[in-house]
Amino acid sequence: MMRLLAIYGSPRVKGNSDTMMDFFVKGALEAGAKVEPLYVRRLSFKGCIACGHCDEKGVCSQKDDLNSVYPLLMESDIVAIASPNYFYHLPGQLKSLIDRAQALFMAKKLGLFVPDASKRYGFFLGVGATKGKKLFDCSILTVRYFFEAIGVSYGGELCFREIDEKGAILSHPDYLEACFSAGKTLVGKLLL
């Protein structure tokens, strides 16, 4: 059974990126995946404190809600992230979760975590209000490097501009259809 970790990265409940992820999840379910939703806004945790513990041990020294997230990041076949654009990047809470993945980067380096990236994929769903060409550049670069750190191959992205008000994405059924297809296709790719 393909396991999808669906990371909902927005602080806004039922916002545009939530809806995009809901459609991605529907597609993945249709293709037969098992889905684990993860709402970053519901987690209580702090950012990386650069204590150096993971440099030696390959695990994080902090005891908080992310302790149960690490195994999901290590074991899911697909890790998808949906996120709004905040100041040309990811929202702080989501970025903090990503910073804490440094522990997995170190675990890999120490040989304590040996993922097979050829059998795992990551996917990014982004949304923002403006239409600048570079709007998603920073988010994508960070997400790419995060995926590399947790041992998943970059499976692609869907980023939509000029979507601002809560629910605005619902006026773009073509965008949501693309999210649905991406979820379905990615699971199908792993089943081949």
Ligand X SMILES: Cc1cc2nc3c(=O)[nH]c(=O)nc-3n(C[C@H](O)[C@H](O)[C@H](O)COP(=O)(O)O)c2cc1C
Give the interface with ligand X as residue ranges (CB under 6 A): 10, 12, 15-18, 84-88, 127-130, 135, 163-164, 166
Residue 152 CB, shortest distance to ligand X, in Å, is 22
Residue nearest ligand X, CB atom distance? 15
Question: Which residues contact residue 58 at a Cβ distance below 8 angstroms, ignoring those fewer than 6 apart?
Answer: 103, 106, 107, 109, 110, 112, 113
Nearer residue to ligand X within complex by CB, 34 or 166? 166
Nearer residue to ligand X within complex by CB, 117 or 159? 159
Nearer residue to ligand X within complex by CB, 10 or 62? 10
Order across the sheet with 121-127: list the strands: 34-39, 3-8, 78-84, 121-127, 153-160
Residue 13 CB, shortest distance to ligand X, in Å, is 9
Residue 179 CB, shortest distance to ligand X, in Å, is 12
Residue with tokens 């605005």: 168
Nearer residue to ligand X within complex by CB, 40 or 135? 135
Contact 174, 160 (CB under 8 A): no
Q: Which residues of 159-186 are buried (b: 16+ CB within 10 A; e: fewer)?
A: bbbebeeeebbeebeebbebbbebbbeb
Amino acid sitting at position 131: K
Residue 30 CB, shortest distance to ligand X, in Å, is 23
